[in-house]
Structure 1
């Protein structure tokens, strides 16, 4: 299950998002017994990320005819890169779904129609005058925030800002399952973020009985031998996005790839020493990013975007980390990587990798990189020919370090050689500049003190 969108977000007063209709019902209607009137409202698919045009229905969590509560997860949708839970902005009964599972709908199309309970805070003028028709098309108010003029760019950050509670969607779900009120918990995580352990501790403090804790969400088991069953399967939304991006890059970018190997003896020793000293895992990607950053500063064309006849050099280094997931390749982005220490980079690589595999990252964490690092060595790879992501000018692929014969001071010995493959856009980066960038990168990887100082 992916990250969630708060009910406050989907109640944002955009006039095209919700269309109300008064529906009178009999007082003895079973689902709404005791109510004299309900409001049937069409909830339109919101733009839950900058530039979202459409989304695919993955799974309906509330069936037609069932009762739904405010902020209860209503449907899972898949955007270009993320799976998102959209909650119900109102309590009531789901009258109809706007699309079936597996179908794609556009932003602004009817996602669901809900028979809302109770009256709206502002009456709807049912007169037939032109003025009333204009008013009836205006934004719905009541529980909708009057100051929210537009959706935030990142759903999770917006939810935290609106609710005042810092917690990941999976932690929020655990709190709902255990009946824990997040507003009463003081988070022990970074910047006061509430963690899974915080929720479990709060649940155990409220009862003397053992608390049944749901298992952590992990990767699916490795499948056995692949089936040879023939057939055709429609590409997922993510796979279609990957295909479009790869095709665009291959059509537009004249790729050049340069290959090399670097002695990783010192790099691996430093990695092990840092892990021992700080008692934490140090992903090799964190050290590679640390080695790349000085080279990006020295050769800014590698941290740039080609915009027709102009080169836009970026003032910050937002480094993309390629993550292999069960659903396909995702690129998670470390924002302002050049302002972070190696330990902070290591923490971000771990967090983003876990979030990408769980499909719980916000859309803003999966786009906008200015340079990309791909560790194919994690899968046993060596050299490769990585494809430059659209909107950037270069990508570095790192293979697995392998013991090989080398000559040191006239003697043959062995050393762990790290394969490097650097692809770049030949329209703005010449071969000479490519080799100079690679030479500086190799120097940094050979002696990590050069970028750790």
Structure 2
């Protein structure tokens, strides 16, 4: 009996998705929970895994097709592709592979390289949705000749909405990279050539074991950039590019490649330990196009870098938030003495009991949860001409990543313990930096907290995260002289800021909301006593 493969259940704000990539073909055997297909929405890419073990018999939604929530994408039949009723499909696939050795007739070093496996594949960019015209090759995670497993991530393609992963079609290795990092690519454009069974794996030939050293020869044979000799040093193309980018002295870099060739790995090592920096008297390296231009004393250099697509989208959303909301900000300051004393007293016991550190965010999240219960307008959202009041507190926590700002959401924070808050935030931060957050984890918040203090910000005006109507900004803890009971004392103070949408929230409620947070933090016992 066939088992249906269905698209995931999309959140209410996501109407449809696009089939980005099938990782299995009809006739392929699959294991339970093995990745079969990826669905791309306007925010993240969702992975669809096999509900049962068997053989993929039907693909009902091709790559590039638009699909709805829980739509049937394909079917899995019983048995294995190795035999039974599915054997003809596998046999046909093998017949298609047999003629492939004809490639050996080509006078091409690339064809000789993957002699351990044979079949070559074109590694293509995913099928982009209609709203996305092109993407940028952000990172190559594998090098030419490096052995990889099927479904290992080869490269990241950054669009204006999400970062898409390009995975290996089989066990093998990259033969040639056609789209370097930073290149603009279109939907299904060829990024690289891949060969099954190739790579410097154990038991391979001596040439494969020296894949890194032979990369320069491969490039020359395939018409790519050749090695360049600088003085008595031979530079591989990738190494030459990196040396120019970091303005290094090639003569100070020790090459580990064939014949002393300087490889990309050698340059990376030199960058890390700082051993190849140019001397002060040495003129900066120039590209071949500008080598004839003399260095100008006092010349001021500039570097122009395209804004990433994700950064462009973030910029548009922030501008839209300011243009559509009647945004105001109110400020206050909180004496952090009580919270800091609690942390100092219980941090070791807390870590032993809960296996996580006691930070500040747990206190702020709990204080904000209590304040949101008392001021439901701050916890509400605007939907067109309707006001939506939420009977729960889902607080988003802004997390900075190399690719931009993301806001994963803590659910039902009123019912969470401080330890649960701290553990979840640590997990969010790690997975956000690795790009592993799911679409459901970044939607549905009723309020947001952002902490610019970790970067040293003393005061700022946070921007509301639509459709929410308010956001709390934390800042740096600064010791300042304060008047306490008629005496001047040095206290650890933090400025707090609440930006709010005046269409929904009156100034009085915004101010009282912030004062409530201040009072709860200055006397944490209030959180336990609910007063």
TM-score calculated relative to the size of structure 2: 0.54
Instruction: Give me the CA root mean square deviation.
Output: 4.3
Secondary structure of 2:378's partner? helix
Q: Distance in 2 between matches of 1:370 and 1:398?
A: 18
1:17 lines up with 2:63 in the alignment: yes
Q: Is the 8 A contact 2:177 2:193 kept in 1?
A: no
Residue of structure 2 equivalent to 1:295 = 371
Q: Is the 8 A contact 1:56 1:78 kept in 2?
A: yes
Deviation of the 1:246 alpha carbon = 1.4
Q: 1:338-371: CA deviations, max 9, x gaps?
A: 3321011111222223333454544544454332
Q: Is the 8 A contact 2:125 2:166 kept in 1?
A: no
Q: 1:62 to 1:284 in 2, by over 3 A?
A: closer
Q: Distance in 2 between matches of 1:24 and 1:364?
A: 45
1:347 lines up with 2:423 in the alignment: yes
Residue of structure 1 equivalent to 2:482 = 406
Q: 1:376 to 1:64 in 2, by over 3 A?
A: closer
Q: Is the 8 A contact 1:388 1:424 kept in 2?
A: yes
Deviation of the 1:258 alpha carbon = 0.3
1:102 lines up with 2:182 in the alignment: yes
Q: Structure 2: 5+ residue runs without aligned partners? A: 1-22, 24-33, 39-46, 49-58, 66-91, 105-110, 197-270, 278-298
Q: Distance in 1 between matches of 2:403 and 2:363?
A: 27
Residue of structure 2 equivalent to 1:247 = 319
Q: Distance in 2 between matches of 1:323 and 1:47?
A: 27
Residue of structure 2 equivalent to 1:71 = 151
Q: Distance in 1 between matches of 2:122 and 2:304?
A: 38
Which one of 34, 41, 45 corresponds to residue 126 of structure 2?
45
Q: Distance in 1 between matches of 2:432 and 2:476?
A: 22
Q: 1:368 to 1:95 in 2, by over 3 A?
A: farther
Q: Is the 8 A contact 1:322 1:331 kept in 2?
A: yes
**Mean alpha-carbon deviation: is it higher for 97-106 or for 375-384?**
97-106
1:385 lines up with 2:461 in the alignment: yes
Secondary structure of 1:9's partner? strand
**Mean alpha-carbon deviation: is it higher for 11-20 or for 271-280?**
11-20
Which residues in structure 2 correspond to 1:23-422 (within 5 Å)? 25-30=99-104, 45=126, 55-61=135-141, 69-79=149-159, 83=163, 85-90=165-170, 101-103=181-183, 109=188, 229-279=301-351, 280-422=356-498
Q: Is the 8 A contact 2:398 2:405 kept in 1?
A: yes
Q: Distance in 1 between matches of 2:116 and 2:445?
A: 55
**Mean alpha-carbon deviation: is it higher for 414-423 or for 350-359?**
350-359
Q: Is the 8 A contact 2:176 2:194 kept in 1?
A: no
Q: Distance in 2 between matches of 1:278 and 1:240?
A: 41
Q: Is the 8 A contact 2:121 2:169 kept in 1?
A: no
Q: Is the 8 A contact 2:332 2:515 kept in 1?
A: no
How many residue pairs end up in the alignment? Answer: 341
Q: Is the 8 A contact 2:482 2:489 kept in 1?
A: yes
Deviation of the 1:75 alpha carbon = 2.0
Q: Distance in 1 between matches of 2:525 and 2:383?
A: 36
Return the structure number with greater relative CO, CA threshold 8 A, min gap 6.
1
Deviation of the 1:249 alpha carbon = 1.1
Q: Distance in 1 between matches of 2:508 and 2:376?
A: 14
Which one of 1, 4, 8 corresponds to residue 36 of structure 2?
8
Secondary structure of 2:461's partner? coil
Secondary structure of 1:369's partner? coil
Secondary structure of 1:396's partner? strand
TM-score calculated relative to the size of structure 1: 0.62
Secondary structure of 2:317's partner? helix
Q: 1:90 to 1:271 in 2, by over 3 A?
A: same
Deviation of the 1:319 alpha carbon = 2.0
Q: Distance in 1 between matches of 2:142 and 2:456?
A: 43
Q: Distance in 1 between matches of 2:506 and 2:497?
A: 16
Secondary structure of 2:137's partner? strand
Q: Is the 8 A contact 1:27 1:34 kept in 2?
A: no
Q: Is the 8 A contact 1:7 1:89 kept in 2?
A: no
Q: Distance in 2 between matches of 1:420 and 1:389?
A: 17
Q: Structure 1: 5+ residue runs without aligned partners? A: 118-219
Q: 1:318 to 1:54 in 2, by over 3 A?
A: farther
